[in-house]
Each structure stands twice: as structure tokens, then as C-alpha cells.
């Protein structure tokens, strides 16, 4: 956004806005008064999310939301969206996101994630919109030299095609700013989003077998899976299981809104880590979720696989005025509230 505007006068295009993080961010944007346009092809989301958003924000705020079912790589569709709406800024979530799948389908991941970003920024440029927040990932830090990670920590080679798409899109957006200093780019590198909206109306609903720990644990809790698979118990951690930095999806959504408010009127490229700065082990997650659902959840130990890292989020606190508010207990509480009321996700 080249000029400072009030939220009521600001239109935000959210790609992938029906997905897990995107939908919660849309709720926060609408609650803050923004006009929001979602573009999502629903390849990994459910259209019922839109009804849930309406229920959460109420009819008045819901009037400020528009939805287009389209692929972000569809240039003609994007032109229509930008012609129909005076878009001031874009929050870009849309993309394939399963690490394991990216290893077996690298061409699809590079084509979709990088291709749709190129199509998006070209459409933005041609319609006079040069403000974008990109949904990046801590995966760009690779195997770090030191912890906790700061925004100055060096980027390392990615370990999978999904990670490489995040890595390369960051560089693409940096190049835009170098070529045209009018661009305003924020790269948000987040760690492990979990939790759900406190209302229980909206949460993570992965298609097929969940790739991430929390939705898998939640599905065990409602009886859709037999037990939690814990990958490795020989890490150099207090209980031997992998430690990750988990962040509540509502904190993450608030981080995007804080970044949007901060970038108004600015130009250039800035990076922010979004996490809690606190590590939680796999067994601690299972214990916290057992507490939330009121019964002990079964688990089995499997061979280890690569773990994650923790974040230093001082920069986001000092520059954006943002800090994570929720702890693991609240993350598991809200996940259980969502899953217990929606055992089959949005298909109920």
C-alpha cells in the first residue's frame, strides 16, 4: 500500500483464503474492518469455510467479503479479480504444502507454487498494486548453525522441493524490490501453526492422512486414527522426542494483520519470524492434547525423521508490536474444540 489508509478503505486480496491459515487470517482482517477478496480453487480447502467465516464475523462484516473460485495461476481470472476490485495489498497463501508429496511430485510443486506467484505479481504490477505479504516458512533456514533462529540467520539449502519453492519465491520477491523500489514486500517465516478458532467453527481439515502432528493427534482423539506415530525418541531433548516451535493459528493470523498495518506507506522488503520462541516436544503435545480431551492418547515410537527448530521473534515484537499470546494448552484446547464438534472436518 503506497498510501496510509484506514482498514475500512483498504481492500486485501487473500490467495488461498479458504485454507487453514488463510481462513483464520480472513476472519482477523474482517474483524479489523478490512475489505477482503478471497481467491481459492478449493483444491485443498472446502467452500463451507465461507459459511463458517460468515458465522464468526457476523452479517455486517461478512458483507465486506468477496469470493472467487479460481486458480492463482489463471491469468485471465486474476485480471477479472483485479478489474472488479481496487486491491491495495495481497496476502499470498496459495500453494501446495505437503513436504512428503513435494518429493514425489516436484514438477507439480515447482509449477504450481512458483508459477502462481509469478502470475500473481505480474497481474499485481499491471494493475498498480505493489504491496504483498508472502506466506513463507522457517524451512528456508535449512539445517541452522545456531539457535534460536533470527531473521539474520543465513538461508541454507532446502531439503525438499516444497522448501525450495519457499526459498526461491522469497528471492523472486526480493528481486522485484531491487528492480522497482516502489514494491512493498513482507516475508513472514512461520514455524508450526496449530490450534483452531476458539468458536470451534473453523480449524485444520487436511485431506487424506494428515502430514502434520496436531491434526493427526486430533484424529486419534476422535477415533479416526488408531494411535499417534512418534518419529524418534533418541533426540538430545529432555524426553528424547523432537522439539518444535508451535504457534496458535490465531496468533499467526494476527501477525499477518499486524504486518499489513505496519507496511502501509512503506516500501522495500522486510522479513519477520512468527513463532513463540518456545520449543515443545512431541510427547508434550500428546500429553497436552490428552489433557484437553480428557483421556490418554495411544502412541507408538517410529524411526526418527528430521525435526524443526525454534524462533527468535524479537523483531516482530519490536517492529510490528506483535507477540504470540497463546500457549500449548490453549492450542490443544482449541484444536480439540474444533475436532470434537467437527469429527469429519467440514464434511459434517
Handedness of CA 183, 142, 19, 293 (dihedral sign): negative
Distance, CA of 16 to CA of 260 (rounded, Å): 17
C-alpha cell at 198: 476458539
Residue 313 near residue 273 (C-beta atoms within 8 A): yes
Length of the chain equals 348
* Residue 107 exposed, middle or buried by CB count within 10 Å (0-12, 13-18, 19+): exposed
C-alpha closest to that of 210 among 228, 195, 233, 197: 228
83 CB neighbour count, 10 Å cutoff: 9
The active-site residue out of 109, 141, 162, 326 is: 162
Q: CB under 8 Å to 152, separation ≥6 — which residues? A: none
DSSP 22-81: HHHHHHHHHHTT-EEEEE---TTS-THHHHHHHHHH-HHHHTTEEEE---TT-HHHHHHH
C-alpha closest to that of 101 among 93, 119, 113: 113
Q: How far is CA 45 from CA 37, 219, 253, in A?
A: 16, 18, 17
Burial code (b: 16+ CB inside 10 Å, e: under 16) for 309-327 equals: bbbbbebbeeebebbbebe
Catalytic residue status for 141: no
Active site residues: 162
Amino acid at each position: 500500500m503506497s498510501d496510509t489508509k484506514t482498514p475500512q478503505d483498504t481492500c486485501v486480496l487473500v490467495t488461498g483464503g479458504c485454507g487453514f491459515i488463510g481462513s483464520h487470517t480472513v476472519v482477523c482482517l474482517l474483524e479489523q474492518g478490512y475489505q477482503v477478496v478471497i481467491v481459492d480453487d478449493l483444491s485443498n480447502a472446502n467452500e463451507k469455510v465461507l459459511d463458517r467465516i460468515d458465522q464468526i464475523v457476523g452479517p455486517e462484516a461478512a458483507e465486506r467479503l468477496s469470493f472467487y473460485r479460481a486458480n492463482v495461476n489463471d491469468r485471465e481470472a486474476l485480471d477479472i479479480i483485479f478489474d472488479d476490485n481496487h486491491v491495495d495489498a495481497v496476502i499470498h497463501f496459495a500453494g501446495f504444502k505437503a513436504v512428503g508429496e513435494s518429493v514425489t511430485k516436484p514438477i507439480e510443486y515447482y509449477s504450481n507454487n512458483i508459477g502462481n506467484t509469478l502470475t500473481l505479481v505480474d497481474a499485481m504490477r499491471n494493475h498498480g498494486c505493489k504491496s504483498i505479504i508472502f506466506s513463507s516458512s522457517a524451512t528456508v533456514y535449512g539445517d541452522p548453525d545456531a539457535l534460536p533462529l533470527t531473521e539474520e540467520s543465513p538461508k541454507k539449502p532446502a531439503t525438499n522441493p516444497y522448501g525450495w519453492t519457499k526459498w526461491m519465491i522469497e528471492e523472486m520477491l526480493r528481486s522485484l524490490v531491487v528492480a522497482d523500489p516502489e514494491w512493498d514486500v513482507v516475508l513472514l517465516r512461520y514455524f508450526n501453526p496449530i490450534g483452531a478458532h476458539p468458536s470451534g467453527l473453523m480449524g485444520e481439515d487436511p485431506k487424506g492422512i494428515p502430514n502434520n502432528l496436531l491434526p493427526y493427534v486430533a484424529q486419534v482423539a476422535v477415533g479416526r486414527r488408531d494411535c499417534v506415530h512418534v518419529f524418534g525418541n533418541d533426540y538430545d531433548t529432555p524426553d528424547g522426542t523432537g522439539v518444535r516451535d508451535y504457534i496458535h493459528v490465531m496468533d499467526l493470523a494476527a501477525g499477518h494483520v499486524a504486518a499489513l498495518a505496519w507496511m502501509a506507506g512503506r516500501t522495500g522488503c522486510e522479513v519477520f519470524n512468527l513463532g513463540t520462541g518456545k520449543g515443545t516436544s512431541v510427547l508434550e503435545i500428546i500429553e497436552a492434547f490428552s489433557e484437553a480431551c480428557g483421556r490418554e492418547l495411544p502412541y507408538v515410537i517410529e524411526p526418527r525423521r528430521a525435526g524443526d527448530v525454534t524462533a527468535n521473534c524479537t523483531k516482530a515484537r519490536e517492529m510490528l508490536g506483535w507477540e504470540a499470546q497463546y500457549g500449548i494448552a490453549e492450542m490443544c484446547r482449541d484444536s480439540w474444540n474444533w475436532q470434537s464438534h467437527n469429527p469429519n472436518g467440514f464434511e459434517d
